[in-house]
Structure 1
Amino acid sequence: MAPTRREFLAAGLSGATLLATGPVLPGFLARTARAASSQNDERILVVVQLTGGNDGLNTVIPFEDDRYHRLRPTLRIGPQRVLKLNDTLGLHPEMAAFQRMYDDGLLSVVTNVGYPNPNRSHFASMDIWHCAQTGLQRCETGWLGRVVDRRASAGDAPFALHLDYEALPLALKTENQAVPSITNLDAFRLRGEADSLTHLLNASQEAPAVLDAAALDALRFVQRTAVASCANARRLEQIRTEQTMRAEYPGYGLARRLQQIAELIGADFGPRIFYTSLGGFDTHARQTLAHGPLLRELSESVAAFFDDLRARGRDRHVVLMTFSEFGRRVAENGSQGTDHGAAAPMFLAGPACRPGVLGSAPDLANLAEGDVRFERDFRTIYAAVLRDWLMIDPKEILGQPFEPARIF
């Protein structure tokens, strides 16, 4: 007996379900996919989200400012321990790997990054960074998701990939493309059973009898998606078998994720945007015990990642960017920690970046309600990444003009 219209579509959707989030129907069917620009084919962006609100003052330290030392009697890091970048700023002593990258011309340090009227809520401020919007309007798509919508082609390898244990971030939410969200390379699988997929791929033979034209188009789209997804999953299995480690990675979770990203880049799997995170930066108490190890994990993992890419001949094709939803307050609290603040530094890494410090030391004599004032809107960094690296008009993505920072 021929299957019903409902059975056709149910089989299609169950057979093509991916470990991915983002809309699949009907947005894909309503829009023409945009192919990636040939200028952009080799350029890759890796985003590392520092979740919790990284303490910028103990990351890029104004070691010559007496106010820093007075306001942080137990958390301050003295000039003799700081890894100096210039006469006024230095890195946390656990960031020796970043200092080596800085000395090698592979690291850009952008100071005092934030936005007007800062929000000290984790969720609200993270949404602002993810959406690239500071107003009260509801945001349905992220800034990187909007890039995916404009550049991805349906049926191809995914244009962006989220590799993390957290849910797909708002930054990657799209309107009409799907972005896979996986915990590791082995997790990229179709959820449907093989017989379900076989039924799906054979379904259109009887489809004209029970489906109208729109439903038939929908089913055929799901079929194409399923075939592409199977191919991607098999390709990932092949990559895991063929790829060998080209650099020594430390035993951190972030390092493992970046290693897998390097494998995908080395195999030219396809994504042009990768997104992962490092959590634990909400250091309200006993900050010294947690913050230094996190910064060491970040710097050593990123350094190993670029060593690996260099060995693969792909380092010049990759830019890595870090951000956190906010910094911490200048004065330490009564629990040997710091509370939610405002402006903080960002790092951009890779041979394509303009090395050095972009910006000045925080002005601790001119605080905004106890916080570092922002000197540079984070969207000027996004604008630089969009225009000068991903080769896309920033206004298309950000919705308003921002003068790109001189990152490249």
Structure 2
Amino acid sequence: MTKVNASRRQFLRYSSALGAAGTIGSASLPFALNLATMGSAAAQTSTGGYKALICLFLYGANDHANTVLATDSTSWTQYTTVRTTNEAGSIALPPVGSNGGVLPITPNTTQAGRSFALHPALGSLKTLFDSGRVAIVSNVGPLIVPTTLQQYKAASVPLPPKLFSHNDQQSLWQAYAPEGATYGWGGRMGDLLAAGNAYPVFTAISASGNAVFLSGRTVNQYQVSASGAVPIGGLTGALFGSTTAGNPLKSIITTDSNNLFQKEHANVTNRSINAQSLLSPAMAPAGGTGVPNPTQYTNPNTGALATNGLASQLQTVARIIAGRSALGAQRQVFFVSMGGFDTHDFQRTAHADLMARLAHAITYFDGVLGSLQGTDMRNQVTMFTASDFGRTFTSNGDGTDHGWGSHHFVIGGAVKGKNIYGEFPVTGLKHTLDVGSGSLLPQISVDQYGATLANWFGLSTSQINDVFPNIVNFSNRNLGFLG
């Protein structure tokens, strides 16, 4: 049995928040309200204008090698040789210019002898890249110190723990430590900037369930559903057929008590009720005169229209951002996600659908931010992708296996877009960054990636050192992809 080291107050904070929410176990519960800092408008301080940072996590490990591709002759030959198999599910994509071929991009800064393209389903994302609102950061992954292939093989420098494990690497990306970490770098940024918000409980908000990325030492994530703040059931409307039972129920669950457990439960419940009563009226409505509803996306494999869950999450985020003035918010960190990226099988069709949904949702959100209730918010909101790890360059027939480094997108008006940051790795096998089967040894650490975002977000050098414990080991603390 695993020993859980938690104080009584910590236990009550989490368990009571769940119980007060109504339906225990729901991913959309307003879990872990910030009990210590449920502030008032008087608490607001200036932090230089509103900014929001959004982590878009791709659960399962995105196949970066079919997302951003090198298409120069040498690279393409290696790519088609390795990724074309005798299997019906061969994962090599068609070349530039062919029917359904990869989409060429021209970064502002050239890399000698290299040319590049995006997955065929990323057409609308290519348009944003060409317009300068999307940047690509090449070969990012967890590192403790800069590491060469020789050092990796000899284990002569400290290496990230439990490489190639989904749960552990998801946690390492979000929270510097394997599964079981208690706080992440989104939450830690919230800790440092929450005092600038009138209601710090709305500093770290997840539209996609519980994520350690948003857990801080003092700031805890507030979870919302697609419809916004989640109310405690039974307090309004009919309860067991009675229209008057809501008030007695509220009295029972919020009344103070000499019993410490009951007292803490009442405190959490009151704060949950207060938070919902603040957020619900502040959020812009969905559709109509509020935040436009996302259109359906087209499945590239079937041509069928379908609802895009990621776009719905981003609509919720936009509705909260639209309410920033009513909430007195200056800095907010959000979390959204997609699943399904563990493409060991049927990768070519599965990944095409994932890429279509990704591009559709990002493009929808960019359009919404361009005129969010009459205001262009794109310069004040930055979104970035993250994932468990990259995948192997080799194919297992119709899929790929667990890797390490991967390429990522950064999206927003403040982004120095139309560029690839970091030297794009050699395409092929048995090169100086190949740790096996074409799995990439990262050349940019998650700390460097996050520190660049944190610098734009307003953290000082000392605060960045605190949030990203390994950043002191890297000479390049700012990758330059944000203004």
Using the alignment, how far apart are the partners of 1:326 and 1:140 within structure 2?
Answer: 20
Using the alignment, how far apart are the partners of 2:449 and 2:45 within structure 1?
Answer: 21
What's the % identity of the aligned pairs? 22
Contact preservation (8 Å) 2:171, 2:179: no
Question: Which secondary structure does the structure 2 equivalent of 1:141 belong to?
Answer: coil
CA apart distance, 1:211: 4.4
Residue equivalent to 1:161: 205
Q: Output the amino acid matched with 1:347.
A: F
Residue equivalent to 1:105: 132
Aligned with 2:402 (options 340, 349, 353): 340
Using the alignment, how far apart are the partners of 1:263 and 1:33 within structure 2?
Answer: 21
Where in structure 2 are the equivalents of 1:247-258 lying within 5 Å? 250=297, 251-258=307-314
Change (3 A) 1:286 1:185: same
Residue equivalent to 2:154: none
Contact preservation (8 Å) 1:381, 1:407: no
Contact preservation (8 Å) 1:62, 1:88: yes
CA RMSD of aligned residues (A): 3.4
Residue equivalent to 1:60: 68
Change (3 A) 1:244 1:175: closer
Using the alignment, how far apart are the partners of 1:89 and 1:103 within structure 2?
Answer: 13
Where in structure 2 are the equivalents of 1:360-399 lying within 5 Å? 360-363=423-426, 364=428, 365-366=431-432, 367-370=434-437, 371-392=439-460, 393-399=463-469
Residue equivalent to 1:180: 222
Question: Which secondary structure does the structure 2 equivalent of 1:152 belong to?
Answer: helix
Moved more, 237-246 or 150-159: 237-246
CA apart distance, 1:198: 4.7
Q: Output the amino acid matched with 1:406.
A: G
Deviation digits for residues 76-135 of structure 1, max 9, x if unmatched?
A: 2224322122342211111111110011000010011112346111001101011034xx
Where in structure 2 are the equivalents of 1:129-148 lying within 5 Å? 129-133=173-177, 139-148=181-190
Question: Which secondary structure does the structure 2 equivalent of 1:185 belong to?
Answer: coil
Change (3 A) 1:215 1:103: same
Using the alignment, how far apart are the partners of 1:219 and 1:274 within structure 2?
Answer: 27
Residue equivalent to 1:190: 232
Q: Output the amino acid matched with 2:366.
A: F
Deviation digits for residues 1-35 of structure 1, max 9, x if unmatched?
A: xxxxxxxx9xx9799547646545xx845x89896
Moved more, 94-103 or 271-280: 271-280
Change (3 A) 1:214 1:264: closer
Using the alignment, how far apart are the partners of 1:379 and 1:68 within structure 2?
Answer: 30
Contact preservation (8 Å) 1:265, 1:314: no
Moved more, 72-81 or 238-247: 238-247
Q: Does 1:273 align with 2:333?
A: yes
Using the alignment, how far apart are the partners of 1:189 and 1:390 within structure 2?
Answer: 33
Deviation digits for residues 366-393 of structure 1, max 9, x if unmatched?
A: 3112212211112101001112224352
Using the alignment, how far apart are the partners of 1:329 and 1:143 within structure 2?
Answer: 27
Contact preservation (8 Å) 2:54, 2:335: yes
Change (3 A) 1:22 1:71: same
Using the alignment, how far apart are the partners of 1:92 and 1:227 within structure 2?
Answer: 46
Contact preservation (8 Å) 2:286, 2:292: no
Contact preservation (8 Å) 1:266, 1:314: no
Aligned with 1:88 (options 111, 115, 126): 115
Contact preservation (8 Å) 2:135, 2:409: yes
Using the alignment, how far apart are the partners of 2:266 and 2:223 within structure 1?
Answer: 24
Q: Does 1:69 align with 2:96?
A: no
Aligned with 2:347 (options 263, 287, 293): 287
CA apart distance, 1:308: 1.2
Contact preservation (8 Å) 2:384, 2:411: yes
Q: Does 1:326 align with 2:389?
A: yes
Change (3 A) 1:58 1:224: closer
Change (3 A) 1:298 1:151: same
Residue equivalent to 1:49: 57
Contact preservation (8 Å) 2:61, 2:387: yes
Deviation digits for residues 146-182 of structure 1, max 9, x if unmatched?
A: 2233333585551121112xx3011122333342223
Using the alignment, how far apart are the partners of 1:341 and 1:247 within structure 2?
Answer: 33
Change (3 A) 1:395 1:311: same
Question: Which secondary structure does the structure 2 equivalent of 1:124 belong to?
Answer: helix
Q: Does 1:405 align with 2:413?
A: no
Q: Which has the higher helix share?
A: 1
Count the aligned residue pairs.
Answer: 385
Contact preservation (8 Å) 1:190, 1:230: no
Contact preservation (8 Å) 2:187, 2:220: no
Moved more, 317-326 or 61-70: 61-70
Contact preservation (8 Å) 1:20, 1:179: no
Residue equivalent to 2:362: 302
Moved more, 386-395 or 56-65: 386-395
Change (3 A) 1:39 1:202: closer
Normalising to structure 2: TM-score of the pair?
0.70
Contact preservation (8 Å) 1:255, 1:305: yes
> Which segments of 5 or more consecutive residues in structure 1 lack a partner in the other structure?
1-8
Using the alignment, how far apart are the partners of 1:284 and 1:399 within structure 2?
Answer: 33
Using the alignment, how far apart are the partners of 1:239 and 1:40 within structure 2?
Answer: 29
Moved more, 62-71 or 347-356: 62-71
Question: Which secondary structure does the structure 1 equivalent of 2:168 belong to?
Answer: helix
Where in structure 2 are the equivalents of 1:108-123 lying within 5 Å? 108-116=135-143, 117=159, 119-123=163-167
Change (3 A) 1:266 1:202: closer
Moved more, 360-369 or 51-60: 360-369
Change (3 A) 1:239 1:158: farther
Question: Which secondary structure does the structure 2 equivalent of 1:307 belong to?
Answer: helix
Using the alignment, how far apart are the partners of 1:289 and 1:14 within structure 2?
Answer: 39
Change (3 A) 1:137 1:301: closer
Normalising to structure 1: TM-score of the pair?
0.82
Deviation digits for residues 57-81 of structure 1, max 9, x if unmatched?
A: 0000122212222111132222432
CA apart distance, 1:349: 0.4
Using the alignment, how far apart are the partners of 2:467 and 2:31 within structure 1?
Answer: 18
